[in-house]
Structure 1
Amino acid sequence: MLFARPLFYVFVAAPLLLASCSNNDKSDDALASGTLEVRLTDAPGDFRAVILDVRQIEIHLKEEGNPDGWQLLPFQAQPINVLEYVNGRSALLVSSDFEPGQLKEIRLILGPDSYVTGRDGQRYDLKTPSGQSSGVKLKLSKKDLYQQSSNYQLLLDFDVAKSIVERGNWKPGNDKKERYLLKPVIRVVAQDIRGGLRGTVTPAAALPQVLAIRSSITPADTFSTSADVAGAFQLGALPSGTYRVEFFPSATAPANQGSYKQVTRTGIIVTNDQLTDIGSTPLQ
């Protein structure tokens, strides 16, 4: 298999000044700094490995469009296999002191060495239309901003299935470097969204994709993952609400067994700060 397991580091640098202040007119409480964490998690796709060549992570602290608002975070450039961080697992990319304030955007600068390892074991380079130059910009909405929190966590939820696009005219025998484009689809989740759900499927060999659809709002929110080889799945950073959970088997049942079925469960309640266990779901 052609990928290297990435090593993750935690760096603590000088405080990031996310709010302007002066020692002469601010109290000790107002000057107290906290911790900014940036973590990465993934919704799986149909690959053995997905390697992102992440070179820099930056945050934007001023009004949109102000080129002077970008500030570099203490992050060591490294390859990241995002498929290692699924079903509730996440990679700690940055941990740094900061003084509470408003974050506007976060940006990932990607290098030229991103690639996937397909189910066939072959390496396919990922072409990135804009990631190497202007970077992948992710906006934070006002509801995600905290000015007085001592600990601020941003979770970057990378959707492999939506982010890796196969060229329509590619055929076996063509240049492997031309097969896939990387068009990152990443959801930014702030620390207040901490609901989740988990469960298992039987038989585990069905390897279903799992969709959690928050039907209590319009338009509905959709979050996805896949069950692992043991049949377990977990989705984190879900807003509170009522969900339906849909299961789509990705494998075919053996000839001597009944076929795997698509299943939908409704009325699943997710509550903030709680992990809802929906138990076992039979797919046969």
Structure 2
Amino acid sequence: MKMKSTRRLLYLFVPLAAGILIFTACNKSSSNNGTGQLEVRLTDGPGPYDAVYIDVEKVEVNVSSDSGTSSGWQTLPLLRPGVYNLLNFRNGIDTVLASANLPAGTLSQMRLILGNNNSVVINGVSYPLKTPSAQQSGLKFNIHATLTSGIVYRLWIDFDAGSSIVTTGNGGYILKPVIRTYTQAIGGSIKGYVLPSAAKPEVFAIQGTDTLLALPDSTTGYYFFGGVNAGSWNLTFHALDTLYRDTTIMVPVSTGVVSNAGTVTLQKK
């Protein structure tokens, strides 16, 4: 009776779990291929202007794999190329510029490439922002962050609008970006195996009111939960084949770490 009650409780959360299933399945593939997910966000320090528009054309990164091999500069797909008003992203507000899976290893450098449609609005009047020729090949930053397989990282481009605009002698304005970057690992991950496949197992990860569902690989029994909160998670292995017993274990999760739950073998009743 106890296990039947547990099963009913778990399935109260299935609508939420189903929405997360695609995410976990995608991360499962990423983990197998030795990749981490990088999300690049734009934020801003305030400036005394009505608006500061920058034209974002490309974001490129340089990653060295765990084996020490550099893949060279890679262009990240932008969610929305074009003009952004920096002053829309003050006081902790940000926007996602790009997101991509990258080889696990060291993120050494990033390059932000701007177009020509940059401008500043002062007292209701718009002025073009010229960019020095030395910066036309892109603004390069040294990052030196470690990308771990299966972990989601956010990297912020913190654009200081107040310090990035320089007045010229003839009343014009030049864009000389003052930028800092910082990264943060978002949550942790859980991976493991559940056998045998004949049990037709499902895996539920439960923490408080959060319940996630993963469907293990039908051959190997591999499962993966990505981007989960730090803390203790209960993993319940439910056998759709009623000849097998359900099993629950506890797995501790730390931010930036892939927690290995090992192999769980379901026993027959």
User: If the length of structure 1 is used for normalisation, what is the TM-score?
Assistant: 0.49
Decide which structure has greater helix share.
2
Offset at residue 62 of structure 1 (A)? 4.8
C-alpha separation between the residues in 2 aligned to 1:67 and 1:122?
A: 46
Would the alpha carbon gap of residues 68 and 35 (structure 1) be closer, same or farther in structure 2, given more than 3 Å must change? closer
User: How far does the alpha carbon of each residue in 1:135-157 deviate from its partner, in whole angstroms, 9 at most, with x for none?
Assistant: 1111114xx33334611111111
Q: Which moved more, 1:147-156 or 1:103-112?
A: 147-156
User: How far does the alpha carbon of each residue in 1:7-61 deviate from its partner, in whole angstroms, 9 at most, with x for none?
Assistant: xxxxxxxx9xxxxxxxxxxxx9553544210001000101111100111111112
Equivalent residue of 1:161, what SS? Answer: helix
- For these two proteins, the number of residue pairs brought into alignment is 158
Q: Output aligned runs, 1:1-284, within 5 Å.
A: 31-62=33-64, 69-75=72-78, 76-118=80-122, 120-130=123-133, 133-141=136-144, 144-148=145-149, 150-167=151-168, 169-171=169-171, 179-191=172-184
RMSD: 3.2
Equivalent residue of 2:48, what SS? Answer: coil
Residues 130 and 136, structure 1, Cα contact 8 Å, conserved in 2: no
Residues 152 and 185, structure 2, Cα contact 8 Å, conserved in 1: no
Equivalent residue of 1:94, what SS? Answer: strand
Residues 116 and 126, structure 1, Cα contact 8 Å, conserved in 2: yes
Percent identical pairs in the alignment equals 40
User: If the length of structure 2 is used for normalisation, what is the TM-score?
Assistant: 0.52
Residues 110 and 131, structure 1, Cα contact 8 Å, conserved in 2: no
Which residue identity does 1:170 align to in structure 2? N
Offset at residue 131 of structure 1 (A)? 6.8
The answer for unaligned runs of 5 or more in structure 2 is 1-25, 188-254, 256-269
C-alpha separation between the residues in 1 aligned to 2:81 and 2:134?
A: 14
Which residue identity does 1:150 align to in structure 2? I
Q: Which moved more, 1:145-154 or 1:72-81?
A: 145-154
Residues 111 and 132, structure 1, Cα contact 8 Å, conserved in 2: no
C-alpha separation between the residues in 1 aligned to 2:49 and 2:127?
A: 11
Offset at residue 132 of structure 1 (A)? 6.3
Offset at residue 101 of structure 1 (A)? 1.8
Equivalent residue of 1:60, what SS? Answer: strand
Equivalent residue of 2:107, what SS? Answer: coil
Would the alpha carbon gap of residues 34 and 192 (structure 1) be closer, same or farther in structure 2, given more than 3 Å must change? closer
Would the alpha carbon gap of residues 163 and 95 (structure 1) be closer, same or farther in structure 2, given more than 3 Å must change? same
Residues 35 and 150, structure 2, Cα contact 8 Å, conserved in 1: no
